[in-house]
Structure 1
Amino acid sequence: MSEPTPGAVTEAAFLESYWRDPHATLAHAREHAPVREVTFETGPTWLVTRYADVRAGLADPRLAKDWRATLPAEERASAPPGLPAPMSHMLTSLDPPEHTRLRRLVTQAFTARRLAALRPRIETLADDLLAGLPGDEPVDLVARYAIPLPMEVICELIGVPELDREDFAHWSTVLIDECPEPELARASAQLADYLGGLVALRRDDPDDALLSGLIAASEDGERLSDIEIVAMAMLLLMAGHETTAVFITNSVRALLADPAARAGVTSPDTVPGLVEELLRWVSPALNASLRFATEDLEIGGTAIPRGASVTLSTGAANRDPDRFSDPARLDPGRDPAGHVAFGHGIHRCLGAALVRLEAEIALTALFRRFPDLRAAGPDEALTFRRSVHVHAPRTFPVLLGV
């Protein structure tokens, strides 16, 4: 490996301290080198950590999601996509005009009415999961609650039949966990095949779930193709399920460590505001997915060459003292408006309302049933996933206090 440029951070800088407490590393970067070249497992990227730069970058059309936009026009058509199908058809991999068309059609099916109708079902799912927890031994909150709740919700939303959910959960677990590449590829192909079959079924026999809504969505004679519908379902699974599970886990950890903040779960009037502050404080995704510079440009006074990849750290931005007063403190009374936990601009998370709804229900149900809930051991005993995208313990043992 060549010597790093001055001020650069190589993968060696991401030691165990980063995986345990990424905010300390991100805060140091934000203060001393807010736009710096780093090396992730996927390769070199420019890491952007200041709020103003991150928010501007999230809406900057010169930072494309499809790497082919960095190529000369005559080379783009023949260049392969950066991701295999159907992932190359996901909203998060597209730029206008393809992104504009797809998001417009998807929004027709992903309505507030559809999400609101899920509330009673999510409440029932949460209560059922909590009722099944043993009260006389430590319980892994990740495996027994934070992961299965959003998984069941996604299955309900998409319309996955009850009999198929075990396989569906297995494929999603492989995609979300850090598994070997052959296993990831196999699970991705199996999931895509399954969803393709489900789309074909719903074309002939529609129901009230999201897949049928996506099939029916049209505008000026345009409809979503089967591969676009499959890609949307996979995106919901990988982005919505994983980040919601991470957010629920880290929110519970934060509330157990802060009794004053935890008191906000006891009132329906304060829960939405508390969840909003938690979104800022424990951002579900630490870093947005890669973007690519389509021309030479500057970010925060730093030159970024055309073709370079750029990582916008939403987690670092949400704790920027230039935007939020005393940002390292969890403050339920704060107005965290403007946080970028769900991104900003045309790629702002389509499922933001669903994440909020699930978190409000999950936290309320958990602390209502187990008011004496506590961690089963010190935070130092937890092991964390080695992910640059999310910060999450692999397990989180708790005592229910029953």
Structure 2
Amino acid sequence: MHFKLNIRRYSPISHFHKIVNIMRLSLVLCMLTIFCASATVSYSQVNEISLHLEDATLEQALEAIKQQSEYSFWYRNDEINLGRKVSVNINNQNIANVLDRLLATQGLAYTINEKHIVIYKTNEKASHPMITNNKKITGKVTDEKNEPIIGANVVVKGSTTGTITDMDGNFTLEVPDQATLLVSYIGYTPKEVAVKNQNNLSIMMIEDSKTIDEVVVIGYGSVKKSNLTGAVSSVKTTEIQQTPMTSIDQGLVGRASGVQVTQTSGMPGAVASIRVRGSSSLQGGNEPLYVIDGFPVYSGTGFGSTGGNTQISGLSTVNPSDIESIEILKDASATAIYGARAANGVVLITTKSGKKGRDIITFESSFGVQNVAKTIDVMNA
């Protein structure tokens, strides 16, 4: 048997040389880092600038700085008045001191980014904030019957500082001098109250008669909105009339909660698919019952000119400008009078009727252009 042993001889001298080489490399890297840092710091110190200008323009002053340094200036002509007269007398100052002396009286500020200087207009309001003295005030919000209003919003006008009233209608708030409070609550007319020198306020709110006395049409008549117990959504006709459309159902898109409107076809007169509180059947119809001035309107399936079945709506025959109000009945209590046909909800439409007074003539027109999404390439003759 033969064994071969590789025995390396240890040399302390070679090991010492390796350590020395590592130390040399580390020293070189440290020196390079120091030189780079000192070059960056001393750049603005070495480039000392002297300016001696009397009644010169701002443009001439900036040009003189550019000639004595390697800086370039960036600014907007509509913000900086380069023709404004300046007078400076500066000896051997760095760029920061020169710009501070030159731009401080002009309402201008600057930012230095390497060799680029951006000059911009300062916000004088931000640099001189208004000092105000806040004081703590208390108050109580009540209705016309002197009953406390719980949860009324009390906000300082023109700010985001505010609070709400507690169970007794009381509130506490810190406000600046001569502040104005905005008080609001659902069903009441918003009110502005000037604090002046008062520390304890008594605020009485008045019911909003327009909101409380608003009349809502339901299946068996009309009631005030304040007395309504069923789930009914009302759509403002002023919003619908501002939207160009060929059918009323197109104007209901996104205007009533719990009502989804989807356009199913591009055929003229085709009805949009309306779902009130979702679909209730997998095989049966899910369309709501349309009632115009007390008469149910047919909404079913017809044949288009290009073949195939298409949903046709009787609503397309009603002029949107003739509509007085639109109510959507959603729950069982509101739709009970119409029976099983109203299982998917009811859309009640009331048209305008003659009114006493002078004659009024209105004219509205709109047009639209539609293109075929994809045409079929045909052979020529």
Task: Please classify the TM superposition score into its range, dividing by the shorter chain length.
Answer: under 0.3
TM-score by structure 1 length? 0.18
The answer to which structure has the higher helix fraction is 1
Point out the structure with the larger strand share: 2
Structure number with greater CO (CA < 8 Å, separation at least 6) is 1
TM-score, normalised with respect to structure 2: 0.19
